[in-house]
């Protein structure tokens, strides 16, 4: 089976000199290997610009907790002004025209690079749950997701959940318009760090049984609606990577497996297919572990998931290949794709190049070489 190279997205700021330049960088660094898509992230800091620009709706939002985004503990929170009603246009990402520009850049690149004739552009799409929580409850986010802080600011979380349907409609409206215009050119990378992080926290608190179904229901529900509008999707799970720091450090892949098994069960009931899913194994500055126990829970994962192994580190191609071998042995299947744990935006240019080279190199690891790495 051919493994795909999967580039999560984002590049170091000094490489983001234009849409075509970003697309060309990924195309060149794929070295002719098959890729899931060619990414072009519209915000190198994920959703920071989106959060900042909610201030333009001063008649709708007010800042209830200030913050300057210096780290996870310094995110502000918005509140809804008294008597105002939140509507989709107030929380839309407003990217339809911008995405059109990226598609045009890909079409231009295709004309000069025939090997990209079938390539699609990958657009990062935050889960509406993450958008709602970071808008209304950003001040409750901190490294380690401290329960006490979240409880003290629980009204912010309640506001986020209450307004989640508005965020969902805003995202679906934008996606539908993009699909109507450019559907054959776009792959959506649905990004949901909150889903995975909540499962990791629940695992630490021995409370997965009470949370897994709720989180999976939201994720599966949104994936089902994406399927209904014809969106081609890749799921990206994440432990957070703001300033190259993770919000939580997982002990094993058990939280991801629990989340994905519940999500698969719900998607099956909807009659929706399982999209490829990127499972991060590294986190923050930590490379993917080389302890087989970390990967062991993959044995229990629903076999219908097409797995993208987020095992690549720019520091060691050999250790990345060994981590991939551990991942595949535990999963009892060849990975659909190989990737870093997150985007390359927090890397140096040199590290980004090494990470891309390693990603491509280990897509070719054969079974014999894989077994030798485990000896």
User: Using one digit for the tens of pLDDT, what is the confidence trace for 274-284?
Assistant: 999 999 998 87
17-47: pLDDT as tens digits: 999 999 999 999 999 899 999 999 888 778 8
Task: Give me the helix-helix angle, 128-137 and 154-162, nearest 10°.
Answer: 140
- Most confident of the ranges 107-111, 147-151, 173-177, 211-215: 173-177
Q: Cα–chain-centroid distance for residue 234?
A: 9
Q: Where are the alpha helices (DSSP H) in the chain?
A: 19-29, 48-52, 88-91, 96-112, 128-137, 147-152, 154-162, 164-182, 193-204, 208-228, 254-270, 292-295, 317-331, 349-362, 367-373
Predicted local confidence at residue 212, as pLDDT: 76
* 58-102 pLDDT, tens digit each: 999 999 988 888 777 778 889 999 999 999 999 999 999 999 999
Q: What is the pLDDT of residues 193-247, one digit of tens each?
A: 989 988 888 888 776 666 778 889 999 999 999 999 999 999 999 887 655 556 6
Q: Is pLDDT of 146 > 60? A: no
Work out whether strand 38-39 and strand 77-80 pair parallel, antiparallel, or are unpaired: unpaired
The three-point CA angle 303-185-1 to 5° equals 35
pLDDT tens across 288-330, in order? 999 999 999 999 999 999 999 999 999 999 999 999 999 999 9
Q: Kindly report the average pLDDT of the chain as a whole number.
A: 89
Question: CA angle, corner 220, sides to 268 and 144, nearest 5?
Answer: 135
Distance from C-alpha of 354 to C-alpha of 346, rounded to nearest angstrom: 14
Question: Residue 246's pLDDT is what?
Answer: 61
Structure tokens at 64: 């209830």
Q: How far apart are CA 131 and CA 152, in angstroms?
A: 21
Long-range pairs of 48-51 with CB within 8 A, sequence gap ≥ 24: 50/93, 50/126, 50/131, 51/75, 51/76, 51/134, 51/135, 51/138
Q: What is d(CA 337, CA 215) in angstroms, rounded to the nearest whole number?
A: 25
Q: Output helix, strand, coil percentages for the chain, rounded to the nearest 5.
A: 55, 10, 35
- Is residue 147 predicted with pLDDT exceeding 50? no
What lies within 8 Å, CB to CB, of 245 at 6+ separation is 71, 72, 143, 284, 285
Q: How many CA atoms within 13 Å lie on the side-chain side of 346?
A: 18
């Amino acid at each position: 089976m051919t493994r795909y190279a999967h580039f999560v997205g984002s590049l170091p700021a000094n490489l983001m000199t234009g849409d075509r330049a970003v697309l060309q960088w990924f195309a060149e660094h794929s070295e002719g290997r098959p890729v899931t898509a060619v990414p072009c992230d519209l915000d190198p800091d994920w959703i920071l610009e989106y959060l900042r620009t909610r201030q333009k709706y001063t008649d709708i939002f007010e800042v209830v907790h200030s913050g300057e985004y210096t780290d996870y503990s310094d995110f502000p929170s918005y509140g809804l002004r008294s008597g105002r009603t939140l509507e989709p246009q107030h929380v839309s990402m407003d990217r339809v025209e911008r995405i059109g520009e990226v598609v045009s850049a890909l079409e231009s690149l295709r004309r000069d690079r025939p090997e990209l004739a079938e390539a699609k552009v990958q657009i990062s799409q935050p889960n509406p749950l993450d958008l709602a929580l970071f808008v209304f409850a950003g001040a409750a986010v901190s490294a380690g997701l401290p329960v006490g802080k979240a409880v003290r600011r629980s009204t912010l979380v309640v506001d986020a959940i209450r307004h989640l349907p508005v965020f969902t409609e805003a995202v679906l409206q934008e996606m539908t318009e993009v699909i109507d215009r450019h559907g054959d050119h776009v792959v959506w990378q649905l990004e949901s760090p909150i889903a995975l992080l909540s499962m990791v926290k629940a695992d630490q608190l021995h409370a997965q049984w009470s949370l897994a179904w709720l989180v999976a229901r939201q994720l599966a529900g949104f994936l089902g609606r994406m399927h209904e509008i014809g969106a081609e999707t890749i799921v990206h799970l994440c432990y957070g990577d703001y300033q190259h720091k993770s919000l939580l450090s997982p002990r094993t892949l058990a939280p991801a497996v629990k989340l994905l098994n519940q999500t698969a069960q719900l998607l099956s009931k909807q009659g929706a297919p399982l999209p490829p899913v990127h499972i991060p194994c590294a986190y923050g500055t930590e490379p993917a572990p080389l302890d087989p126990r970390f990967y062991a829970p993959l044995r229990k994962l629903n076999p219908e998931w097409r797995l993208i192994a987020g095992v690549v580190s720019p520091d060691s191609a050999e250790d990345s290949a060994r981590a991939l071998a551990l991942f595949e042995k535990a999963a009892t299947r060849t990975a659909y794709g190989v990737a870093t744990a997150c985007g390359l935006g927090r890397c140096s240019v040199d590290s980004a190049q090494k990470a891309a080279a390693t990603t491509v190199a280990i897509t070719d690891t054969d079974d014999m070489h894989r077994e030798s790495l485990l000896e």
